[in-house]
Amino acid sequence: MSEQTLFKVTVDNITIEVPAGTTILQAARQIGGAVAPPAMCYYSKLEGTGGKCRTCLVEVSKGSEKDPRPMPKLVASCRTTVMDGMEVKNITSEKVIDARAGVVEFLLLNHPLDCPICDQAGECHLQDLSFEHGKAGTRYEFQRRTFKKHDLGKHIQLHMTRCILCYRCVFIADQLTNKREHGILDRGDHAEIATHIEKSLGNEFIGNVIDVCPVGALTDKTFRFKNRVWFLKPMDAHRNCPSCSGRVTLWNRGDEVFRVTARKDEWGEIEDTPDGKPGWICNTCRFEKKHTNDWIIEGPRAISRQSVIAQGHYAGNIGTTLPTETFKAVNDGRAPHLLMDIHNESEVNLPSVRLSEIDGPSHGNTFNNNSKKA
């Protein structure tokens, strides 16, 4: 077997050796942490992604050992392969930080900034990117784009105003399902994700577009407006599924399963299964298995401490318990003088109403009708 050629590359003063053909982004991810540039369109599990959003721009301060001249412009690290002796600056480059702020400003030009009502809030890559590189104001003076509503079937909701045209969902539909019925129509300011003549996306694996969408443009209709991700407790679980790996993350509150997603790695991409294949999940696992007894619970999912989701990561027995009582912990060890059960005082949030099982978002009637029945 021929020996693999290794190239030495330095990113933000950290040197590693990677096989020839590795991109700068992949090399930086091997170093890890803040050295890895953000990526909104590249997705390592899908062929042909990258090169669309420009968030991964880096400065190449030395081209290679043989030709040490710097590259004249910032380059997209997801599409540029390393050369032997290359030196790259990411967070150590002022030019990169400045350019990234400009890219965020462009990505947000037409964005509705509706994070308070968006289901992706708390796990949105655009939200994180804006937090790290965005500016408080905008220089844009024109009206933001609006779109005709497209129905993407009974499980997926498209909010085109939030889309950043990263093409990931189009690649998924092309590479994972055998019947792509949506794509990007038109060009420039008119470009939009659309299903031709409003066809619904019925493929058994199409739910994965929700997991790859870096923003809240494609959301799960069975979860919409039901809860905030930081109130939920992510648990690793699996089932014996005939169609997919069956390895998922359940998003629970108490013993109620609000959402089922594929497991994601530290880059927000689908995690590989133990046999090295991407752990895409089927629609049945994602949309129809919403009871804890449909699953074999493995344990709480490890969540980065920096993530807002970690705040809801309460301790307790797996799967079927209510949050651990924290009153004493936050009250200097003192027990409360009086504890009232909100359900005795109010008809709001009746325990008999399982929010994850009602069709659509809850409103006053959900509770009023239910309390009359009780």
- Residue ranges that bind ligand SF4, judged by CB under 6 A: 163-169, 193, 212-215, 217-218
Q: Which of ligand SF4, ligand FES, none does residue 164 bind (CB under 5 to 8 Å by kind)?
A: ligand SF4
- Given 14, 30, 51, 175, the residue binding ligand FES (CB under 6 A): 51
For CA atoms 192, 126, 53, 133, the dihedral sign is: positive
Q: Which residue of 8, 14, 16, 54 would you call a contact of ligand FES, by CB under 6 A?
A: 54
CB of 175 closer than 8 Å to CB of 47 = yes
Q: Which is nearer to ligand FES, 54 or 150 (CB)?
A: 54
Least CB distance from residue 351 to ligand FES, whole Å?
A: 45
Distance between CA atoms of residues 197 and 160, nearest Å: 16
> CA 255, CA 299: separation in Å to the nearest integer?
13
Q: Which is nearer to ligand FES, 25 or 237 (CB)?
A: 25
- Out of ligand FES, ligand SF4, none, what residue 50 binds, judged by CB under 5 to 8 A for its kind, is ligand FES
Name every residue whose Cβ is closer than 8 Å to that of residue 266 and which is 6 or more positions away in sequence.
32, 304
Residue 43 engages ligand FES in binding (rule: CB under 6 A): no
Which of residues 40 and 60 has its CB atom nearest to ligand SF4 in the complex? Answer: 40
What are the structure tokens assigned to 14, written together? Answer: 């950290």
What residues numbered 78-107 form the site for ligand FES, per CB under 6 A? Answer: 78
DSSP character string of 149-203:
--EETTTEEE-GGG-----HHHHHHHHTSS---EEEES-GGG-EEEEGGG-----
Residue 230: Cβ within 10 Å count: 16
Beta carbon of residue 166, minimum distance to ligand FES (angstroms, whole number): 7
Among 36, 50, 124, 164, binds ligand FES (CB under 6 A): 50
* CB nearer to ligand SF4: pick between 89 and 180: 180
**Residue 49 beta carbon to ligand FES: minimum distance, rounded to whole angstroms:** 8
As beta bridge partners, residue 63 has: none
- Tell me which residue of 295, 327, 326, 297 sits closest to 313, measured CA to CA: 326
Which partner, ligand FES, ligand SF4, none, binds residue 42 by CB below 5 to 8 Å per kind? ligand FES
Among 18, 28, 36, 53, interactor with ligand FES by CB under 6 A = 53
264 binds, among ligand SF4, ligand FES, none (CB under 5 to 8 A by kind): none
d(CA 193, CA 183): 6
Residue 294 CB-half CA count within 13 A: 18
- List residues binding ligand FES (CB under 6 A): 39-42, 50-56, 76, 78
